[in-house]
Amino acid sequence: MKTHFKILASIVITLIALSSCSSEHSNKAYESYAAQSDLSEPEGKGGEVGIEQQNLIAERKLIKEGSITFETENVQKSKERIFKSLKEVNAYVANENTYTYSDKQEYRMVIRVPAGQFDVLLSNISNIASKIDSKNVDVLDVTEEYIDIEARIKTKKELENRYKEILKQANKVEEILSIEKEIGQLRTEIEAVEGRMRYLKDKIGYSTLTVTFYQKINAAFGFSLKLTQGIKNGWTNLLWFMIGLINIWPFLLLIIVTVYFTRRYIKNKKQKNKL
């Protein structure tokens, strides 16, 4: 029994040591990676240097997001051309909305596209535009966080396996409950870290592009339409005015009472002066 508790204690100490070292290990790995990217080969090996740099860039974990807003002559036709482009690059629409205003019709979509096809899709959509209002691309490098999470998952899983081996040797109820508690807590931590890893992999694998395009509407002035809108606006303003009066009714009452007694006082004073 004492042997089992000694083993358990050693495992707990190992957990603390490994947890504290995992972050340092991942940072060193990332620093090593960054340092290697700055190294240069002697002259005469330019081709090899280019290949090595491409390999290093390919290992970087990047999250790319972008947006484009443009004017088009026909919203429906532009939408059809965009969906055709999505099929060509194996992208899909995560969210879409249509808006209709008095002077324009607008369509907005959020697209998820394989990271390697992001620039191709953005270029294809740009060619559809009659006039581009804005275009933005943001790239977030999450290589360091990715390496850190990988190291933490590996460390925690190794420790979990060691706990399971000790659990097989445990005989006492207290030992079993104690080890199972540690395993449960460790499993919760692993699932949380793995959830973050899945999120990063999804964002890294598929970039996000928000596309907004619109078509201007040249509506002729319609008397009946403007008259109807004027009546509606007037009624709405009247309601808001009444609500405003209701909110300040104590002040209105105070003003009315003050004016009443002031006029009464002045009237009485004039009558006395005549007498």
pLDDT digits (tens, 9 = 90+) for 105-163: 999 999 999 999 999 999 999 999 999 999 999 999 999 999 999 999 999 999 999 99
Q: Is 44 helix (H, G, I), strand (E, B) or coil?
A: coil
CA-CA distance, 208 to 218, in Å (whole number)? 33
114 phi and psi, to 5 degrees?
A: -50, 135
pLDDT digits (tens, 9 = 90+) for 188-230: 999 999 999 999 999 999 999 999 999 998 755 556 667 777 8
Average confidence score pLDDT of the chain: 81
The CA-CA-CA angle for residues 198, 158, 172, to 5°, reads 120
Q: Is 222 helix (H, G, I), strand (E, B) or coil?
A: coil
- Which residues partner with 110 through β-bridges? 95, 210
Domain 62-142+207-216 fold: Alpha-Beta Plaits (3.30.70)
Q: Is 146 exposed, middle or buried (0-12, 13-18, 19+ CB in 10 A)?
A: buried
* Interaxial angle between packed helices 75-88 and 118-128, expressed in degrees from 0 to 180 and rounded to the nearest 10: 160
CA-CA distance, 57 to 38, in Å (whole number)? 12
Residues 6+ away with beta carbon under 8 Å from 187 = 160
pLDDT digits (tens, 9 = 90+) for 224-246: 667 777 888 889 898 898 888 88
The CA-CA-CA angle for residues 116, 119, 122, to 5°, reads 130
pTM of the model: 0.58
Query: What per-residue confidence (pLDDT) applies to 42?
Result: 38
Q: Which helix (H) or strand (E) holds 94?
A: strand 92-100
In angstroms, how far is CA 36 from the centroid of its own chain? Answer: 32
pLDDT digits (tens, 9 = 90+) for 1-26: 444 444 544 554 554 444 544 444 43
Query: What per-residue confidence (pLDDT) applies to 20?
Result: 46
Q: Which helix (H) or strand (E) holds 200?
A: helix 173-205
- First-last CA distance in the chain: 117
